[in-house]
């Protein structure tokens, strides 16, 4: 953990709606809701377009990988893949080298929709960053990366403490 303990928040004056994490959650929810509304006519929810994007970008090719990058448990991901497969966006195939491995592929319809997602994300995020300069956005990103680094450090420490307990 960092040598310096931050005391930005104090219990006596804490207001959840003013916390950084609350604001980040509000922004994330607003962006996801807007993108979902834009993809709704295609029959996609937020929970469904994220896996399509991850498959499209090559971040995952198996159900286990997809569950990991989407922060879902294996059972939830299996049900999600079932829904995406029923809608004709994804198909499952067995690996030629290891029959135990199931590979996921976007169908032509899935590729078409997934290819549109990055431009929708850019459109929505650019709208939410209206009035910011490029330098301000880079500064904001660096601050958020520091928060994420602190988060990862805490998760690593908690995992270590759990293993040694």
**What string of DSSP letters covers the chain?**
--SSPP----GGG--GGGSHHHHHHHHHHHHHHHHHHHHGGGT--HHHHHHHHHHHTTS-SSHHHHHHHHT--HHHHHHHHHHHHHTTSEEEEE-SS-TTPEEEEE-HHHHHHHHHHHHHHHHHHHHHTTT--HHHHHHHHHHHHHHHHHHHHHHHHHHHHHHH-
Task: Determine the pLDDT at residue 121.
Answer: 93
Task: Determine the pLDDT at residue 2.
Answer: 45
Share of the chain above pLDDT 70, in %: 96
Q: How large is the average pLDDT for residues 122-144?
A: 97
pTM of the model: 0.80
At residue 114, does pLDDT exceed 90?
yes
* Average confidence score pLDDT of the chain: 92
């Amino acid at each position: 953990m960092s040598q310096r303990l931050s005391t930005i928040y104090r219990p006596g004056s804490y207001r959840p709606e003013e916390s950084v994490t609350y604001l980040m959650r509000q922004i994330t929810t607003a962006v996801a809701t807007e993108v979902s509304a834009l993809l709704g006519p295609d029959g996609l929810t937020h929970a469904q377009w994220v896996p399509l994007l991850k498959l499209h970008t090559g971040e995952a090719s198996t159900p286990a990988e997809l569950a990991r990058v989407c922060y879902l448990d294996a059972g939830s991901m299996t049900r999600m893949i079932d829904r995406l497969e029923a809608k004709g966006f994804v198909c499952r195939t067995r690996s030629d080298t290891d029959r135990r491995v199931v590979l996921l592929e976007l169908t032509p319809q899935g590729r078409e929709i997934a290819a549109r997602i990055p431009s929708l994300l850019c459109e929505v995020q650019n709208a939410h960053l209206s009035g910011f300069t490029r330098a301000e956005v880079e500064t904001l990103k660096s601050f958020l990366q520091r928060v994420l680094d602190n988060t990862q450090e805490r998760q690593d420490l908690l995992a270590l403490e759990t293993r040694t307990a």
